[in-house]
Chains A and B, each alone.
Chain A
Amino acid sequence: MTTSFIRRQARAARQRTDIDIDHQTRQVTSITCKVGLVNIIVCVKQIPDPAAPRSLDASHNLNRSGKLILDEADTYGVEMALQLVDAAGTGEVTVVSMGSAHDVAGLRNALAMGAARAVIVSDDALRSTDALGTAKVLAAVIKRESPDLVLAATESSDGYTGTTPVQIAELLGLPSITFAKSVTIDATTVKVDRQTESGYDEVTAPLPALITVTAGVVEPRYASFKGIMAAKSKPLEVLSVADLALGDATGPAGARQEITDVVAAESRAAGEKYVDEGDGAERIVDFLESIKVL
């Protein structure tokens, strides 16, 4: 293989085409659209460590000034995307996010797992942006990428609004299938097993489409040492609102809802605590009898 051949192949892959070459004459015999090449966007969120104490600031925003990690709920989408690209043979996973970029360890984690690139929109003007505003920002970024497939978690672990992915799909004019427990794709179609109250539905949609991935349906890989080292030099682009030309859709001006106050919820008092001496089960039976369940 000559250097020029390798270069041609690399260029061909970038252009989403496949080239057949006659090795005798070194002439190109055909150029076909490479169905295997799939570009997947995964929407992710960096959140304060759920294990650390959480608080609201004076304007009722979640305090996000500390360490940020990749939301565990998002690791399933990243894993799913990497598996789909593996299955397709070629392609690329890009993670897209919005929020403070003072700490990008969460995005680096996604890159270490195997994503090729990360894009985060970070801007003070985005504070207090609601779910619809967030969807507008992410949709604007995704539009620039022209992906075949967009994946997201069903909801974030901190805000858990749970509507942002579908709002993105509507803004981009894409079909969506939420609560996926398995996802397969071919050149034109995505096929999803979607959770329902009573089991699951098989649902199909033409590509491009947006899918939300239910937590726990794949086993997120741990980043290898090699992956962690490689992630340090992978592209991580930080965008501002001005880069996206969104008008007043975001921030306090765009948020058309407000928190009026935060109050302590009705609390439950602790009852009896019994240290098991072998008769713990009998004590539970007694308790169930006392409340007439038995």
Chain B
Amino acid sequence: MALSNIWIVCEPSNGSFTSTSLELLTQARDLSATQSAITWGGDAALAAVAGNYGATTLYDVGDLGGALPGVPIASAIAALVASVGAPEAIFIPTSYDGRDIAGRLSVRLDRPVLTNVTGLVDVGGLVSEHPVFGGTQTVRARFTNEGPGIFVIRAKSFASEASGGAAASISASPSGDVGSTGTAAVVATHVEDRNGPKLEEADVVVSGGRGLGEADKYALIEEAATLLNGAAGASRAIVDAGWVPYSHQVGQTGKTVKPTVYIACGISGATQHMVGMKGSKNIVAINKDPDAPIFRIADFGVVGDVHKVLPNLIEALKSRK
């Protein structure tokens, strides 16, 4: 193992860490001799999770007091680097807050970042893999000078697997100087109702695109998803058009999903979309254009009118209940 130490930013979520954080902890175990996790609002439960995924130390930045994590976590990591020395690499999940942390940290350490990482290979130094052109090609990149490599890694790039390690020892992280930058504060949180599984964790994803014709027709996508105990996704085109919120977006600029089956309805298969779903185990496509790129990667494609096939599918699924 060429690396001796990797730090992993682990985002707390419901008493554990986000699934992407666990994936990063798992992958770091394969790449370095020791791993340290960095989190906020840490406690014994989180230390147990960190240890169970191979980390020996859990650096805890403490309660953020309503501040967005970007500034306080980046400044804490910079302070840690100054006090205990830099690791060879810092892994950060691709997430709303993860990218904030990465950007802030990049400036504080004056180090570049490599983002949208979907693979990491140790060739006597880490080489990261990045999908380009809709995932048809993979760019391999590396850092070229001394200092910790900051890698921002996409969800579902690696499997997560517990190591069964003992609880990590909790170490209070020094808090850095946040200056005038740390003044963004959360004043209220709104949780939107969601039926069924999260988009990234669902076994079945039913997604809609421009071929649906109008925003109201997205209800069909949601209905089919519910009937299949799945989640409803969307192409960028209909998110940009304001039909559905960004949180439904699958693709390069949205979420990466790898369900057992992905059902693309009225989605032509822009490269931007394909990169977020081509890792699905099975792909079903419904599109009226026989030459739509989505058919090139679909295991089962129906050339037909989504306004007929999708309601029929919903009826068929209902009759099985």
A interface with B by C-beta (< 8 Å): 50, 54, 56, 60, 72-73, 130-133, 135, 154-155, 157, 160-167, 169-171, 173-179, 181, 194-206, 209, 214-217, 219, 255-265, 267-268, 270-276, 278, 280-285, 287-288, 291, 293-294
Q: Which residues of A contact B115 (CB under 8 A)?
A: 131, 160-163
Contact B71 A285 (CB under 8 A): no
B302 in the interface (beta carbon within 8 A): yes
A140 to B303, CA, bound (A): 53
B246 touches A216 (CB 8 A): yes
Q: In the complex, A176→B183 CA distance in Å? A: 8
Task: Contact check, B140 vs A263: say whether CB atoms are below 8 A apart.
Answer: yes
B residues less than 8 Å from A174 (CB atoms) = 180-181
Known contacts being A178-B100, A281-B312, is A291 close to B282, with CB within 8 Å? yes
Helix, strand, loop or mixed for chain B's interface?
mixed
Q: What residues of A have a CB within 8 angstroms of the CB of B296 in the complex?
A: 268, 270
Instruction: Report the minimal beta-carbon distance from B49 to chain A, rounded to whole angstroms.
Output: 18
| Cβ contact within 8 Å between B103 and A166 | yes
Instruction: Kindly list chain A residues whose C-beta atoms are within 8 Å of the C-beta of B82.
Output: none
- Contact stretch, chosen from B31-39, B160-168, B185-193: B185-193
CA distance in complex: A206, B152 (Å) = 28
Contacts of B183 in A (CB 8 A): 175, 205-206
Contact check, B242 vs A280: say whether CB atoms are below 8 A apart.
no
Q: In the complex, are the beta carbons of B240 and A166 less than 8 A apart?
A: no
Known: A273-B298, A274-B301. Contact between A256 and B111, CB under 8 A?
yes
B135 is an interface residue with CB less than 8 A from chain A: yes
- B274-300 toward A: CB 8 Å interface, digit per residue (1/0)? 000010011110100010000111111
Q: What's the least CB distance linking B143 to chain A, in Å?
A: 5
Which one of B22-30, B40-48, B56-64, B313-321 is at the A interface?
A: B313-321
Kindly list chain B residues whose C-beta atoms are within 8 Å of the C-beta of A165: 103
A219: chain B residues at CB < 8 Å are 242
Question: When chains A and B are docked, how far (Å) is the Cα of A195 from the Cα of B95?
Answer: 11
**B139/A262 in contact, CB under 8 A:** yes
- Tell me the nearest residue of chain A to B236, going by C-beta: A215
Q: Which residues from chain B contact A161 at a C-beta distance below 8 Å?
A: 113, 115-116
Which residue of A72, A160, A257 is within 8 Å of B143 (Cβ)? A257
Which one, B144, B198, B281, contacts A257 given CB within 8 A?
B144
Q: Are A214 and B246 in contact, CB atoms less than 8 angstroms apart?
A: yes
CB-defined contacts of A73 to chain B, threshold 8 Å: 253
Instruction: Tell me, yes or no, whether B172 is within 8 Å of chain A by CB.
Output: no
Contact call B309/A281, Cβ cutoff below 8 A:
yes
Q: How far is the CB of A239 from chain B (nearest CB, A)?
A: 22
Main secondary structure of the interface of A (DSSP, over half): mixed
Q: Give every chain B residue within 8 A of A202 (Cβ-Cβ).
A: 186-190
Minimal beta-carbon separation of A102 from chain B (angstroms): 23
Alpha-carbon gap, A88 to B320, bound state (A): 57
Bound-complex Cα distance A170 to B313 (A): 51
The answer, yes or no, to whether B70 is at the interface (CB within 8 Å) is: yes
B272 within 8 A of A: yes
B260 at the interface (CB under 8 A from A): yes
Complexed CA–CA distance, A93 and B107 (Å) = 27
CB nearest to A178 among chain B residues: B100
Question: Which single residue of chain A is at the shortest CB-CB distance from B103?
Answer: A166
B30 to chain A, nearest CB (A): 20
Measured CB to CB, the nearest residue on chain B to A271 is B299
Q: Is there contact, CB below 8 Å, between A291 and B260?
A: yes
B316 near A281 with CB under 8 A, answer yes
Chain B residues near A260 (CB-CB < 8 A): 127, 140-142
* Cβ contact within 8 Å between A267 and B136: yes
Find B261's partner among A179, A205, A215, A288 (CB 8 Å cutoff). Answer: A288
Q: Is B197 an interface residue (CB 8 A)?
A: no
A197 to chain B, nearest CB (A): 7
Asked if residues B290 and A273 are in contact (CB atoms below 8 Å), the reply is yes
**Which residues of chain B have C-beta atoms less than 8 A from A282's C-beta?**
312, 316
- The residue on A at minimum CB distance from B107 is A170
Which residues of chain B from 101 to 120 have any CB-CB distance to chain A below 8 Å in the complex? Answer: 102-104, 106-108, 110-116
Residue B213 CB within 8 A of the other chain = no
Given known contacts A163-B152, A291-B282, A256 and B144 CB-to-CB distance under 8 angstroms? yes
